[in-house]
A = this chain, B = another copy of it.
């Protein structure tokens, strides 16, 4: 097997949704109330029911020189079209050897929660359904076999959420985005019986719960003076706190097909956490946790999915992670993305593993867990890195300089305080 033979599916990318996304998915009387993309001095904002969402391109820096990476793209004009245009996205995937992709939302934040924060819940639900129809029919529908659609949910009512899970599953969507810790975002704890209908619906319809880092259990910035790279370093592993919480979720023992994906959490620390969970539950029997005869490691391997951008230590220890729960992610268009050289970098970590394990990690685990089969649609010979790149020879991958805010004015070490202040400065003084 060679690098060009890999079939790569990415389970964590991002979309900056296009301005016209709601046009085809809402009746005329509701279109005026859909989120609108507005512009102030070149900065774009989504506005929904008075909620202003700046930073429409959070970290969407793919295609820039590394010196111009950052977290600040404010306007679509600063971004590569692959951020918002599906045809350009498919091109950017192909030139990067990526067959298929899960795209997390931006308009409603990564966990979709913005549309659960407005008081008009009748409207919220319609917008959520319209969002999902856009993901499924337009974003994923335009190029069959290339996008795994990802739905968002009403988080104020688990019965409604369960109904939406059933609705999107009927349309072929087997993935939802969900806060890694909803209790930290103002919603019910995952351990609240409140969520029972949702867990059952996900189990019964084989819908994977995707919990992206930064949606509840993210680390605080260590201090305003801390170099920004400290926080960036710690960001993925911080989902360990949420992972431990989900691992102790009793419904997992009742719903054999309930699956939780730790999106952008990486894998190299997983074996440590599993051993720690075993140790904890062996020592701390005073807490009366009942594992129903299973071990924490068994429960994790049966119910969790993990992914990585680059994690060669984790890959070396793939047997301790679990070869059936590891998936790949590209993180396009964020600054950890290795576009357009993802296959070259991925191959370094994979090339010494058995071929059947490489296939599991690159695509077979995803296909099984997300009920998604691009190979039957496109033909295996058209799915490999080599084939996709051959189709994308026209794509210009040269780096392009763009302007942008400079936290800390570009001088000295950029700190957490600089970036926090930059984000605060992005909020417009008046509602756009």
A contact set with B: CB distance below 8 Å: 66-70, 181, 183-184, 189-192, 217, 219-220, 222-234, 236-238, 240-245, 247-248, 250, 266-269, 271-273, 275-277, 279-281, 283-290, 309-314, 317, 320, 335-336, 410-415
- Give complex CA distance A237, B311 in Å: 18
Q: Which residues of chain B have C-beta atoms less than 8 A from A242's C-beta? A: 222
Contact among B225, B312, B320, B414 with A191 in the assembled complex (CB-CB below 8 Å): B225
Lowest 4 CB-CB distances: which A-B pairs, in order? A268-B272, A189-B223, A183-B223, A222-B245
Q: Is the CB of B275 within 8 A of A312?
A: yes
B248, A191: Cβ atoms closer than 8 Å: no
Q: In the complex, are the beta carbons of A266 and B277 less than 8 A apart?
A: no
CA distance A229 to B331 in the complex (A): 32
Bound CA–CA A310/B241 (angstroms): 19
Q: Are B228 and A287 in contact (CB under 8 A)?
A: yes
Query: Considering the chains assembled together, what is the distance between the CA atoms of A320 and B320 in angstroms?
Result: 15
Measured CB to CB, the closest approach of chain B to A193, in angstroms, equals 9
With A226-B248, A267-B272 known, 12 other A-B pairs at CB within 8 A are: A66-B286, A70-B286, A181-B222, A189-B226, A222-B245, A226-B245, A229-B280, A231-B244, A237-B240, A240-B240, A269-B269, A289-B413
A189: chain B residues within 8 A (beta carbon)? 222-226
Contact between chains at B245 and A286 (CB < 8 Å)? no
In contact, A229 and B273 (Cβ under 8 angstroms): no
User: Who on chain B is nearest to A219 by CB?
Assistant: B241
Question: Are B225 and A311 closer than 8 Å at their CB atoms?
Answer: no
B238 touches A240 (CB 8 A): yes
**Identity of the chain B residue whose Cβ is nearest the Cβ of A71 in the assembled complex:** B286
Tell me how far the C-beta of A399 lies from the nearest C-beta in chain B, rounded to whole angstroms: 13
A244 touches B233 (CB 8 A): yes
Which residues of chain B come closer than 8 Å to A232, judged between CB atoms? 280, 284
Chain B residues near A313: list those with CB within 8 A. Answer: 271-272, 275, 317, 320
B269 touches A241 (CB 8 A): no
User: Quick check: B69 and A286 within 8 Å, CB to CB?
Assistant: yes
Q: Which B residues touch A267, using CB under 8 A?
A: 272
Residues of B within 8 Å of A268, CB to CB, are 269, 271-272, 275-276
Contact A279-B227, Cβ < 8 Å, known A247-B233, A269-B268: no
A229 partner, pick from B222, B223, B289, B412, beta carbons under 8 A:
B289
Complex: how many Å from CA A283 to CA B414? 14
